Structure 1
Amino acid sequence: MRSVHLGPSSIPVPAVVAGMMRIDGRSDDDVRSLYRTARDAGIDYFDHADIYARAMHSAERRFADALQLSNAERSEIILQTKVGIVREGPYFDFSYDHLVTSVEESLRALRTDYIDVLLLHRPDALVEPDEVARAFDDLETAGKVRAFGVSNHTPRQIELLRTAVRQPLVTNQVQLSLAHAPLIAQGLAANMQDTPQSAVLDGGGLIEYCRIEGITLQAWSPLQGAGGRVFLDDPAYAELNTVIAEIADRYDVTPLGIAVAWITRHPAGMQVVLGTTTPSRILDAAAGSDVDLTRAEWYALVRAAGYIVP
């Protein structure tokens, strides 16, 4: 299993993260099988959010109820969760009270004394950085959260938070896949006239910014294409799937593995958040993370996905 560094630290973490978004409603045996497959594959990083599944915190609760982790086993894994989205609106709330209350509820649901990594889920346009900083300080001082990050934030939104937040923001979880790659493709076509690909959709140079600042990027929905559909085996992505299949045969991995390899090959040292309840897909992703695509193969996939490589 390929590993990367978490934020500016030298702490190694797996390049594939097991996303727990869809486990609510699964049996104890299903959750345990998924967890054990991940652990056996070298994945000890598990991603949650307070809003996942049927009710607030229900996926976190399903995880803890099924696994009944001992203190010793809990210390072997990394639990990441997210706060800030209020589903009833929906709206976003980065107020001190909301952040602290949500973390307390996540701790109870996950049956743990601490969260390893806490992310602000989506940007709150009404954010007051001083309130976020006060929440982070109190949660860290109490030992309830060990590291902090964001999700779906632009460089300037991160800079705004950093006017008050003193902790390093170790990660930024963003949407990225071969079929949805404006974060990468825009830079390839920057300043090209009459080319939609050249439009800035990420606030400008997000990947480069995170590399400079030592923020680990996490790619969510790594298999998603247009309309929220999985692009693997989708006739709308016939050329892309043909190239993926050729490269998969070359490396003796599955197409899913190549979709993961395309992300983990990037020198930013990204993590792939794979939200699946199928253990075999965890294994496919883990195998793919170890594939070191050549530049020619990596760019061939970019072209096959429909992006311009001038």
Structure 2
Amino acid sequence: MTAQSDVRTSRLLYGCMGLGGTWDTTPYTAADIAHAEASVEAALAVGITAFDHADIYRHGKSEAVFGEVLARAPELRGRILLQTKCGIRLTDGERPGLYDLREASIVRRVEESLTRLRTDVIDVLLLHRPDPLTGPDEIAKALDSLHGQGLVRHFGVSNMSAAQIARLQAHLDVPLVANQLEMSLGSRDWVESGVLLNTPAATGNGFPHGTIEYCAANGLQLQAWGSLAQGRYSGGQDSPAGRLVTGLAERKQTTPETILLWWLQRHPARIAPVIGTSRPERILACRDAAHREPDLTHEEWYELWVAARGEPLP
């Protein structure tokens, strides 16, 4: 049993997509393992103990190098939470990339992830994308089987709407615990959908309205991938939002990265950002988001939102 088997207690997660070398099938190297060790050490130093993977990251190499890290420090497994995803199959020759949540596919990919991660149990398994060809009854059979065998402790989803989650949950005996969505100061559809109702701009917002509220009401942790907005506002960029982020960081004696994470954490849905950078110095710059309550006033939160959108709210 890990020290933290329920991801819903995590304030931050470390996203391991950047570990493992190149995005191809070239074998990872000793340097890639050392890079993974440095990134994991930085995350632990910040206070992050939840690590987010997916079977497709770097064609499986992200999980594999993390497994190497665990093999070199076996005591680490009991201190961390391991989360991974399945459901996306990458392009293979002439076959296009596709989504696959069929029972046999889920089970096989979990078994492969367990092998790469060098562990006997996954704490949280997320379904990476909806598969329109697989019904919830078949998905539930796979998840119930994995749970019954003790191979997976908890389940969640990624990139799913409230309606999709509710339909799947109706077939499951165990509660879904998380929904991972793209959310950041740069990707704001999730928050804009709630204020663009009854305005012409609503037609351009594709985020399924009510999903944030559904997750909050039903105990699903909202995990924000892309939470640092690919460095768009934290690298000293000369833009209204970038200048505001830098100014707030200086006044509050913290880092621009923390301001971006606080903007998400300040939302009452209690969003847990996933930090995807593989640079140890940027991971360390997120320390205050792990240890301090979001120090943004109501007005400052809105100032950041308006600056990033580039126009007043409706």
How high is the TM-score relative to the length of structure 2?
A: 0.88
In 1, Cα distance between equivalents of 2:218 and 2:5: 13
TM-superposed deviation, 1:309: 2.6
Name which of 10, 13, 16 aligns with 1:17: 13
- Deviations, residues 145-198 of structure 1 (Å, cap 9, x unaligned): 000000000011111212212211100000011011111012123212x2x256
3-state DSSP class of the match of 1:27?
helix
The answer on whether the counterparts of 1:190 and 1:198 sit within 8 Å (CA) in structure 2 is no
**Is the 8 Å Cα contact of residues 236 and 246 (structure 2) preserved in structure 1?**
no
Question: Does structure 1 residue 297 correspond to structure 2 residue 297?
Answer: no
**Do the aligned partners of 2:227 and 2:260 also contact (CA within 8 Å) in 1?**
yes
State the partner residue of 1:230: 232
Q: Distance in 1 between matches of 2:166 and 2:276?
A: 29
Specify which of 58, 74, 78 is matched with residue 75 of structure 1: 78
Aligned 8 A contact 2:99 2:131 in 1:
yes
Q: 1-side partners of 2:155 and 2:297: how far apart?
A: 34
Pick from 174, 178, 186 the counterpart of residue 171 of structure 1.
Answer: 178
Query: Is structure 2 residue 40 aligned with structure 1 residue 35?
Result: yes
Structure 1 unmatched ranges of 5 or more:
none
1:1-310 equivalence runs, <5 A: 12-13=9-10, 15-25=11-21, 26-53=31-58, 55=59, 57-68=60-71, 71-88=74-91, 89-192=96-199, 194=200, 196-197=201-202, 199-224=204-229, 230-233=232-235, 238-289=239-290, 290=292, 291-306=294-309, 308-310=312-314
TM-score, length of structure 1 as denominator length: 0.89
Deviation of the 1:61 alpha carbon = 0.5
Structure 2 counterpart of 1:282, which letter? I
Q: Which amino acid aligns with 1:187?
A: G
What code does the residue aligned with 1:214 have? G
Contact 1:84 1:121 in 2 (8 A): yes
Identity %: 38
SS in 2 for 1:60: helix
Cα displacement (A) at 1:20: 0.6
The separation in 2 between residues aligned to 1:232 and 1:90, in whole angstroms, is: 33
Pair 1:79–1:165, CA change in 2 (3 A): same
C-alpha displacement of 1:209: 1.1
Runs of 4+ more than 6 Å apart: none
Q: Residue 207 of structure 1 aligns to a residue in which SS?
A: helix
* Structure 2: gaps (5+ residues): 22-30
Give the residue type in structure 2 aligned to 1:122: R
Alignment check: 8 A CA contact 1:188 1:308 kept: no
Aligned residues: 295
Q: 1:276 is paired with a residue of what secondary structure? A: coil
Q: Quote how far apart the aligned CAs of 1:231 are.
A: 4.2
Give CA-to-partner distance per residue, 1:231-262, whole Å, 9 cap, x none: 44475x71111111111111111211111110
